[in-house]
Amino acid sequence: MTSARNRELLALVPVALLLTAGFAAVFAQESARIDDASLVYGAYFFALCLATHIYLRIRLPNADPYLFPLAALLLTFGLVMVYRIDPSLARDQANWFVFGLVLFALTIQFLRDYDVLERYRYTIAVVGLLLLLAPRVPGLGQQVNGAYLGIKAGPLAFQPAEFSKICLVVFLASYLREHREVLIVGARRVLGVTLPPLKHFGPMLVVWGASMFMLVFIRDLGSSLMFFAAFLALLYVATGRFSFVVIGMAMFLVGAWFFASTVPHVHDRVEIWLNPYAHPRASGYQILQSIFAQADGGLFGKGFGQGLITVPGTNDALLPAAQTDTIYSLIVNELGLFGACGVVLIYLLIAARGFKIALLSDDGFSKLLATGLTAVFSIQAFVIIGGVTRVIPLTGVTLPFISYGGSSIVANFVLLALLLLISDRARRQSAAAERVGGLALEGSR
Amino acid sequence: MNRQIIKLFGLIVALFAVLIGFTSYWSVFDAKALKEKDANKRPLLEQQQIKRGRILAADGTVLARSVPKGHGDSLRYVRRYPEGSLYGHPIGYSFVQQGDSEFEQFHNDELVGNESEFSSILDELRGRRQEGDDIVTNLDPTAQATALEDLREAGFGAVVAIEPKSGRVRVMASNPAYDPNRVPYELTKLNENELETPLVNRATQGQYPPGSTFKVVTAAAGLDSGEITPETAIEAPSPLDVEGVPLENDFNESFPPITLDTALTQSVNTWFGQLGQQLGQKTMFEYMDRFGFNSTPAIDLPSNQVYASGVFEDHHLLGPNDPVDLARMAIGQERLAVTPLQMAEVAAAVANGGKLMKPQIWSRVVDPDGRVTKRLEPSQYSQPISAETAAELNTAMQGVVSEGTGTNAEISGVTVAGKTGTAETPYNEACGGGTDENQAWFIGFAPAEDPKIAIAATVECTPLFGNDVAAPIFRDVAETILNGE
């Protein structure tokens, strides 16, 4: 299946050129000259992509050829945008990119037989929960804007929710693979509503509990929403029962409504979402500035490096958290509606490739794992883009592969590695099946 | 499970479509409304990166200019007002945090160079930074300085001088003044100064009782409607019972039948009171409308910073069908409240043979290459009275200055026409609540045979009369302008 890898290589070339062009544009804007550095950055980037590509050629020759170039494209966007905001942040980001690639390679190296994950599913679930809890541990956790999102141990700081989302999906995929039959068969109709069997639903309630727990103790509305949506997506795919999704959604809404009225942080987020103009200079500032930045972008945007992030001459933020939460608004501001459509389209293409992998997979675990990983990735993109465009309340979730932040990049590289692993197996099997079919055809002739 | 996976993908597509929908809404469909939100400082900040055009006086004196601060990404321009408080009114100010006002606000598009979309795209392609156009005004620096100096001696008040034939505004001064350069530091303080209200342009926002200057309007209505001629004699007893309350002349003096000339020269209250009643409310209001009362003057200042003149009740303008004491309105009492700008327009219309020109502060727009892109073409606002009526009024108003109540407005070698006014404003809180407070006025024009300038000058909270305190200001300002011709 070298043709798949050739397609991957071919797709990486324009990505590297885009990065070069992007940096050139930022340099041109900043110092009115074309800097050689943009070529150097482009070359580094291309070399890294090339190394990864060669590694994939050796280890996973059959894996999906488009996922890695698409992720590289998003990273390109991210690197150029972050560089344009603050060059020193971009250096960090580039380091995280390299570190992410290393973890990407390690995952592929040691999880080639990813079925082992099934064996440790409860351990993985516990690790995932512990990771979520960690930010509340005194002396370890950090509070950001009223939410407990980060861990800080010495020089190392990271956001555990990024990693626990993968743990959760692995656990759910494994659990549902085993129990989907009983969940379907044991379902009972009560008053015209199909209810899942209570006995096997216990662990599912744990997931609901975990989401609510995040809402209350971690106060992370965004991750809570993302986790629960991924859970419902997997439950639906595993059982085919839409009523389960409806019941789950009702449970989440009731819980969210209850906590929105009792937990001040959650309540505030919802309040700001509904009435941003109530306190335009305080709590409503970020979402309003996010929308004003988009209004300024129009169809074509103001051009790379032309948007305002701080009030000129001061350090006052005009677009708060431009490198993380509101990076999408900056993209709309500088690249316009068309640029934003491009970004959303890339996420959509990644989702399409991810679900395609799930469709091609033979065994239940692979199918559910690919579905879960793709769903959680897409929903994360939806939660943050939806947040800054006021579709849903704004929360501190990162935009995968674009936002500044090590945890996000590294975790998403692991997620990508898992998808490629599943893809390699699925395509190898289907290719083998074709070959067998072809031989059988020849034999009959 | 494949069917469900495809459905799930469908849902993701739908969710992403919602994202595109919302992004389009904010970035394109609702963009214009968002840019006008008060909380949105982006348009102002971006304008700050544009070199705003200068504002110049008629003789080229720089009234406002932009100076660069910082460079590269943090390059921005800050507004400077070299003349300080002299042109705080009517030029106003323009700062990012504090916003903008008056002339700066009204002419913003020209000053930031907001041309057509097409030419700005061309400029962008040529790598040219947007730059604002300069605006040359009609303001006369010497006369403006004279007006403000005189006001500072006389008290709070305003002076407006208009060229009758063109509507060019030569002077617009308001005391107390403020220094626009201080606005970034003390806007709150300026705003909270409720006693002096230095940010209020009294020329366009001062709403004062006009006193006897309003008799010019009443006389104009009488002559132009044919109700009276210059020869019509009316007896003017004092006191005269009006709606149960006696109306008196100065010193309670009664007059035998007299004509308009005498009545105006002596400012006889009961004469004009009776004329107003004869004319009726409909005719009076019609002539007021023609002179521009009851609507916002068509000057190039933001409409929320220019007030209408008329009869007010609880901040609402009364109309021809509302109950109004006509006799007292005819002599400038009742609940009449007028702006100095409006009274200057009355004088200008009489001076210009009955034609009222639109008062304009700007004269021409000059682009960064020095080309004049727009030039003021004087236009007529209305013709409130006929040329004949205007000539008759002109004569009567000359008598006021040469032998009547306005002798302090006399300029040697020049014939002056005018009218004084002194409205009693006792217990006025703005004046400290004393009993001996007047609103002193003088409106007029010169030279009477070929008027070059029409002026309204008013002083609030003064124990003095129009002739004592307002007429000398008129004289000084008119003399300065006529000497500069």
Kindly report the backbone phi and psi dihedral angles of residue A338, in degrees, each rounded to the nearest multiple of 5, phi listed first.
-65, -45
| CATH label, B141-484, candidates 1.10.3860.10, 3.40.50.300, 3.40.710.10, 2.30.110.10 | 3.40.710.10
Nearest CA distance, B61 vs chain A (angstrom): 30
Q: A292 and B42 in contact by Cβ < 8 A?
A: yes
- Each residue's pLDDT tens digit, B364-381: 999 888 899 999 999 999
Q: B34 and A311 in contact by Cβ < 8 A?
A: no
**At B235, which helix (H) or strand (E)?**
strand B234-236
Nearest CA distance, B201 vs chain A (angstrom): 30
Contact yes or no for B382/B171 (Cβ under 8 A): no
- Each residue's pLDDT tens digit, A97-156: 999 999 999 999 999 888 889 889 889 988 888 888 787 777 677 666 666 667 776 666
SS (H, E, C) A417-438: HHHHHHHHHHHHHHHHHHHHHH
Would you place residue A444 in the very low, low, confident or very high pLDDT band (cuts 50, 70, 90)?
very low
Contact yes or no for A56/A420 (Cβ under 8 A): yes
Nearest C-alpha in B relative to A390: B22
Contact yes or no for A132/A218 (Cβ under 8 A): yes
Would you place residue A443 in the very low, low, confident or very high pLDDT band (cuts 50, 70, 90)?
very low
Among B7, B11, B19, the strongest candidate for a mutation testing the A interface, having the largest count of A CBs within 10 A, is B19
Tell me, yes or no, whether A433 lies in a domain. no
Q: Which residues of B touch A235 (CB under 8 A)?
A: none
Q: Which residues of B touch A387 (CB under 8 A)?
A: none
Q: B76 and A296 in contact by Cβ < 8 A?
A: no
Q: A298 and B13 in contact by Cβ < 8 A?
A: no
- Each residue's pLDDT tens digit, A60-84: 988 889 999 999 999 988 888 888 8
Burial B51-71, CB ≥16 within 10 A → b, else e? bbbbbbbbeebebbbbeeeee
**In whole angstroms, what is the distance from residue A14 CA to residue A125 CA?**
40
Structure tokens at B217: 């309007």
Domain residue ranges in chain B: 141-484
Write down the ipTM of this complex.
0.91
Residue B312's CB is within 10 A of a number of other CB atoms, namely 16
Q: Given this model, what pLDDT does residue A438 score?
A: 57
Nearest CA distance, B187 vs chain A (angstrom): 19
Q: B73 and A347 in contact by Cβ < 8 A?
A: no
Nearest CA distance, B4 vs chain A (angstrom): 5
Pairing verdict, β B134-137 and B55-56 = parallel
**At B287, which helix (H) or strand (E)?**
helix B269-291
Tell me, yes or no, whether A347 lies in a domain. no
How many domains would you assign to chain A? 1
Instruction: Supply the DSSP string of B457-481, one letter for each residue.
Output: EEEEEESS-HHHHTHHHHHHHHHHH
Contact yes or no for A423/A64 (Cβ under 8 A): yes
Q: A291 and B34 in contact by Cβ < 8 A?
A: yes
**In whole angstroms, what is the distance from residue B166 CA to residue B149 CA?**
26
Q: How many CA atoms lie within 13 A of A376 on its CB side?
A: 31
Contact yes or no for B172/B466 (Cβ under 8 A): no
Among A85, A237, A283, A330, the strongest candidate for a mutation testing the B interface, having the largest count of B CBs within 10 A, is A237
Nearest C-alpha in B relative to A237: B4
- Each residue's pLDDT tens digit, B421-435: 999 887 777 777 777
**In whole angstroms, what is the distance from residue B424 CA to residue B436 CA?**
8
Tell me, what DSSP letter sits at residue B301?
A: S
SS percent in chain B: helix, strand, coil, step 5: 45, 20, 35
**At A286, which helix (H) or strand (E)?**
helix A285-297
Helix axes A67-85, A327-360, angle to 10 degrees: 170
Q: A237 and B5 in contact by Cβ < 8 A?
A: yes
Nearest CA distance, A240 vs chain B (angstrom): 6
Q: A367 and B1 in contact by Cβ < 8 A?
A: yes
Q: A312 and B34 in contact by Cβ < 8 A?
A: no
Residues of chain B with pLDDT under 70: 72-74, 115-129
Tell me, what DSSP letter sits at residue B128?
A: P
SS percent in chain A: helix, strand, coil, step 5: 75, 5, 20
**Predicted TM-score (pTM) of this structure:** 0.68
Q: B20 and A344 in contact by Cβ < 8 A?
A: yes
Domain of A182, in residue numbers:
114-274
Q: Given this model, what pLDDT does residue B36 score?
A: 82
